[in-house]
Amino acid sequence: MKKNDTYEIEITGMTHEGLGVGKVDDMAVFVQGAIDGEKVIAKIIKLAKNYAVARVEEWIAESPGRQEPFCPVYKRCGGCSLQHMTYDKQLEFKHRVVTDNLERIGGFRGIRVNQVIGMVDPMNYRNKAQYPVGMGDGGPIAGFYARRSHTIIDSDSCGIQHPGSEKVRNTVMEAVRKLKIPVYNEETGEGILRHIVTRVSYATGDIMVILVVTKENVPGLDRLIRKLTCEVPEVKSIVLNINKRRDNVILGDTVRTVYGSDTLIDRLGHLTFHISPLSFYQVNPVQTVVLYEKAVEFAGLTGSETVFDLYCGIGTISLFLAEKAGKVIGVEVVPEAVEAANKNAKANNISNAEFHCGAAEEIVPRLYEKEIRADVVVVDPPRKGCDTALLETMVKMQPERIVYVSCNPSTLARDLKYLTANRYEILEIQPVDLFPWTEHVESVVLITKL
């Protein structure tokens, strides 16, 4: 086998990133854009010792789950990797990703994994957009990164973003070109504007704009603000985020509001939330309510329980839980998020929720030493999953139920393996599609003490 060779390949499976999998002379070949059940002519574009990567040149037999992508830059952009699949096929694929990880990493067989809860309308669902800004051949551009690179694909529209985000992006870029605001160069570290970040309230339509810049003095800023607020009247907040770092982190630690409010107000169900520029907040408000209501259902609260909500962010799950619990203790490492969580509790007249600032793996052992125990623990960790010290303390504390909200099936399977080895059992797993057209899937797991 050599690079640029072409082969007829039968696609018998798929990777968790959505690549088709076939074999040529017992060599595994990962085929971009192919779906299981298809037969293709594919060209080898990368050759490693034990596998190859190929690109489809021609379809001999197509899957009934195939469709034409709706985005004009789909093949170049790294945002949505599954647009070539029908939505039903995506949900089937995501269910298989969850079950495969449970079997392969966790060693679980026969665990109840419900069908993925999808969206009625999986378009324009994102309340947050992050546009990297750079210099293209014809001048400043803003869009999305190409897959596995920091090459910017210029894009003025996106089928999964809120239309308000697109209006902001296009208006800011008009101002950047007209006012000659220097855009950032990743290689040299020169320039000022790095990212345009938007947050949209689906409840009110209000928009927060975060301009990620390398310094506070932005030439033409006042004129940019006037243009933006005039042409996009939904903008109620404009914030400068200062990021002088030379790495891949989008947001810096320093924030300065230059127009309007410091926070954006949104609603999930009947609860109101104040969202600050650095706060974590789920990007799909419709499915977030589905996810959180399932977490509350799995918690099985009667009104007397003490609940720990770990990695609680701005208190979103905490406040859903507080309405049915005796007391909720939220733990979050970001100080600004803890401040917002307290504000959110007050705004919703919830008095039985308190929030601690610090890493969950440090705060929970301290609470345990003070004999503050949880009847129910809810965890919603980042992609890396739970820290081992936290899992150990949870097992020592012996809560009756653990509700695990996961955005990464592989670390979920790893952590479930630890918990089930320490006198806990899995009763039910409910995947929820928060990220249509991408390979990502959330899961809510009900775990009970044996």
**What are the tens digits of pLDDT across the range 289-323?**
999 999 999 999 999 999 999 999 999 999 999 99
Same domain, 145 and 195: yes
C-beta contacts of 241-248 below 8 A and 24+ residues apart: 241/197, 241/210, 241/211, 241/212, 241/213, 241/277, 241/278, 242/213, 242/214, 242/215, 242/216, 243/194, 243/212, 243/213, 243/214, 244/214, 244/215, 246/189, 248/150
Helix or strand holding residue 367 (H, E): helix 360-369
Looking up residue 301, the CATH number of its domain turns out to be 3.40.50.150
Phi/psi of residue 207, each to 5°?
-130, 135
> Considering the domain boundaries, does residue 365 fall inside one?
yes
Closest Cα to residue 42, out of 12, 7, 68, 69? 7
User: What whole-number distance in Å separates Cα of residue 214 and Cα of residue 205?
Assistant: 29
Looking up residue 18, the CATH number of its domain turns out to be 2.40.50.140
> Considering the domain boundaries, does residue 76 fall inside one?
no
pLDDT (0 to 100) of residue 280: 86
User: What whole-number distance in Å separates Cα of residue 276 and Cα of residue 80?
Assistant: 26
Asked whether residue 416 carries a pLDDT value surpassing 80, the answer given is yes
Same domain, 308 and 332: yes
H-type alpha helices, 72-151: 87-104
Asked whether residue 423 carries a pLDDT value surpassing 80, the answer given is yes
pTM above 0.95, yes or no: no
Same domain, 372 and 315: yes
pLDDT (0 to 100) of residue 357: 96
Looking at the structure of the chain, the number of domains it has is 3
93-149 pLDDT, tens per residue?
A: 999 999 999 999 999 998 889 999 999 999 999 999 999 999 999 999 999 999 888
User: What whole-number distance in Å separates Cα of residue 172 and Cα of residue 53?
Assistant: 39
> Considering the domain boundaries, does residue 177 fall inside one?
yes
Helix or strand holding residue 168 (H, E): helix 163-179
Phi-psi region of 33 (alpha: psi -120 to 50; beta: other; left: phi over 0): left
Asked whether residue 332 carries a pLDDT value surpassing 80, the answer given is yes
Let me know the angle formed at the C-alpha of 448 by 391 and 305, rounded to the nearest 5 degrees.
90
Helix or strand holding residue 299 (H, E): helix 285-299
> Considering the domain boundaries, does residue 88 fall inside one?
no
Q: In what order do the strands lie in the sheet with 152-154?
A: 152-154, 139-145, 128-136, 193-200, 207-213, 235-242, 254-260
> Considering the domain boundaries, does residue 207 fall inside one?
yes
Looking up residue 182, the CATH number of its domain turns out to be 2.40.50.1070
Same domain, 144 and 235: yes
Q: What's the chain's average pLDDT?
A: 95
pLDDT (0 to 100) of residue 149: 87
Closest Cα to residue 98, out of 11, 13, 16? 16
- 3-class SS of residue 259: strand
pLDDT (0 to 100) of residue 79: 84
High-pLDDT (> 90) share of the chain, %: 91
pLDDT (0 to 100) of residue 247: 87
> Considering the domain boundaries, does residue 75 fall inside one?
no
Same domain, 298 and 435: yes
pLDDT (0 to 100) of residue 30: 97
Asked whether residue 78 carries a pLDDT value surpassing 80, the answer given is no
150-201 pLDDT, tens per residue?
A: 899 999 999 999 999 999 999 999 999 999 999 999 999 999 999 999 999 9
Q: What share of the chain is helix, strand, coil (3-state, %, to 5)?
A: 25, 35, 40
Helix or strand holding residue 414 (H, E): helix 409-420
**Average pLDDT of the segment spanning 78-102:** 95
Same domain, 113 and 150: no
1-38 pLDDT, tens per residue?
A: 899 999 999 999 999 999 999 999 999 999 999 999 99
* Residue 6: partners with Cβ closer than 8 Å, 6 or more residues away: 41, 42, 43, 44, 57
Active-site residue identified among 77, 158, 312, 407: 407
High-pLDDT (> 70) share of the chain, %: 100
Is 407 part of the annotated catalytic residue set?
A: yes
Same domain, 288 and 181: no
Quick one: how far is CA 417 from the chain centroid? 24
Closest Cα to residue 120, out of 83, 157, 87, 94? 87
User: What whole-number distance in Å separates Cα of residue 135 and Cα of residue 140?
Assistant: 4
Same domain, 385 and 290: yes
**Average pLDDT of the segment spanning 225-247:** 96
> Considering the domain boundaries, does residue 109 fall inside one?
yes
Same domain, 410 and 289: yes
Same domain, 113 and 135: no
pLDDT (0 to 100) of residue 108: 96
Q: For residue 210, what are the domain limits?
A: 128-262
Band (76; pLDDT cuts 50, 70, 90):
confident
Same domain, 304 and 249: no
User: What whole-number distance in Å separates Cα of residue 259 and Cα of residue 26?
Assistant: 61
Asked whether residue 426 carries a pLDDT value surpassing 80, the answer given is yes
Structural contact between residues 129 and 158, judged by C-beta atoms closer than 8 angstroms: yes
> Considering the domain boundaries, does residue 80 fall inside one?
no
Same domain, 234 and 306: no
Residues in the chain: 450
In the Cβ-directed half-sphere of 375, how many Cα atoms lie within 13 Å? 14
Q: In what order do the strands lie in the sheet with 424-432?
A: 353-357, 327-332, 306-310, 376-379, 401-406, 442-449, 424-432
